[in-house]
Amino acid sequence: MELENSLKKIILLNDSDSKKMTKYNMQIKQFAKGFFLITILLSSFSGSAQEKKPAATQNAQPTIMVIPFTPAGQDLRANFESNELLRVAITKVKEAFDQRGVNTIDFRAKLKQLSNAEALQSDQKTSIKDDVIAISGADVYIEVEANPNYSSTGNSVTIIMSAYDAFSGESYANKVSNSAKFYTTNYEKLVEKSVATEVPNLLSTIQEKFDDIQVNGRTITIRVGIDEKSKLKMDSEVDKEGNYLGDIIEDYVRDNSFKNKYHLQGVSDTKITFDLVKVPLKDASDNPFRLSRFASDFRRFLRTKEIQCSQVLVGNSLVFTLN
């Protein structure tokens, strides 16, 4: 009996314990639910309170080469080697760019590379600049001109810096900087002062151009001419709808230019010239836009109208000759 009673007590105790346990479980579950909800609410609040940080902008770092300005008819290498002030100016401009963290290419090294390759003869004066730029792989080149000014009130230097797109030759920025007058012949110091104050502004202007290119695209030029032997004319009807050749070319350029931005310079019987056609910086696949692709597409378009043509691509200029 005693055993039975004790067993009953144990059972009763267990029952009450299990009831208590379920109560505790319920409370814990409710607490967990509440905690979960509060956590979600807090995290959402903190998320909205925090500033939304835009993703890092990955922009391509262009390479810049500083080259000496050489007047027409003069030898680039001879000019560079004979003019000490110019060499100092080039070095100082390059230094200023390096300090700003811009990738630069050493002009002197490229000039040596060109000499070693024996790619050029010294009598090829006019092409040295183009060749140096071509082998350097620079995106932007900056022509520097340095002139000393002598006067009874002190000496100074004038530095002219002009930045160009190596691909198209398009001008990006121009800056003229005059140093203050000092009674000194230490032109290196004058050049340094002169360059240091104007390079940041030159870079800002180039960056503004870059920003503009991103928004409005690069500029190319297109010239379409008709071969002498061809019977075609710009006002020849080239399809069943009776469209003129000149019109379908203009329509194509309008439809395929970036944001439909283009400028028709002129049309004659045998020629149509677009002095400004905007193309994007990158294609639909986010790869750099290839001008050769644009040219091929245009050629294929003409083939659909049963017109054959040849193409020449120089820098940012496209030249088509219709046969």
List binders of other proteins among 127-146 (CB under 8 A).
139
CB 192 → other proteins: shortest distance, Å?
Answer: 10
Tell me which H or E stretch contains 119. Answer: none
100 part of the interface to other proteins, by CB under 8 A = yes
212 part of the interface to other proteins, by CB under 8 A = no
210 part of the interface to other proteins, by CB under 8 A = yes
197 part of the interface to other proteins, by CB under 8 A = yes
207 part of the interface to other proteins, by CB under 8 A = yes
Separation between Cα atoms, residue 234 and residue 225, nearest integer Å: 9
CB 96 → other proteins: shortest distance, Å?
Answer: 10
204 part of the interface to other proteins, by CB under 8 A = yes
CB 66 within 8 A of CB 107: yes
For residue 69, what are the contacts with CB-CB under 8 A and spacing of at least 6?
Answer: 143, 144, 145, 160, 162
Q: Which two tokens stand for residue 79?
A: 């000019």
Tell me which H or E stretch contains 270. Answer: none
Separation between Cα atoms, residue 126 and residue 225, nearest integer Å: 28
59 part of the interface to other proteins, by CB under 8 A = yes
CB 62 → other proteins: shortest distance, Å?
Answer: 6
User: Which of these segments, 24-32, 36-44, 98-106, 111-119, binds other proteins (CB under 8 A)?
Assistant: 98-106
Q: Name the residue among 308, 304, 301, 303 with its Cα closest to residue 323.
A: 308
280 part of the interface to other proteins, by CB under 8 A = no
CB 237 → other proteins: shortest distance, Å?
Answer: 43
The sheet that has 218-226: what strands, in order across it?
262-267, 271-279, 218-226, 317-322, 309-314
Q: Please count the residues of this chain forming the interface with other proteins, following the rule CB under 8 A.
A: 33
CB 234 → other proteins: shortest distance, Å?
Answer: 36
281 part of the interface to other proteins, by CB under 8 A = yes
71 part of the interface to other proteins, by CB under 8 A = no
CB 318 → other proteins: shortest distance, Å?
Answer: 22
> Of the candidates 52, 229, 231, 300, which one interacts with other proteins according to CB under 8 A?
52
10 part of the interface to other proteins, by CB under 8 A = no
CB 80 → other proteins: shortest distance, Å?
Answer: 26
For residue 210, what are the contacts with CB-CB under 8 A and spacing of at least 6?
Answer: 62
Return the ∠ at Cα 195 (arms to 199 and 218), rounded to 5°. Answer: 30
Q: Is the dihedral of CA 211, 212, 216, 222 positive or negative?
A: negative
Quickly tell me which residue has 């003019």 as its tokens.
Answer: 83
User: Which of these segments, 53-61, 84-92, 150-158, 252-260, binds other proteins (CB under 8 A)?
Assistant: 53-61
Question: DSSP label at 258?
Answer: G
Separation between Cα atoms, residue 267 and residue 245, nearest integer Å: 11
User: Which of these segments, 46-54, 141-149, 292-300, 308-316, binds other proteins (CB under 8 A)?
Assistant: 46-54
Binding residues (CB under 8 A) for other proteins: these are: 51-57, 59-62, 99-102, 139, 196-201, 203-208, 210-211, 213-214, 281
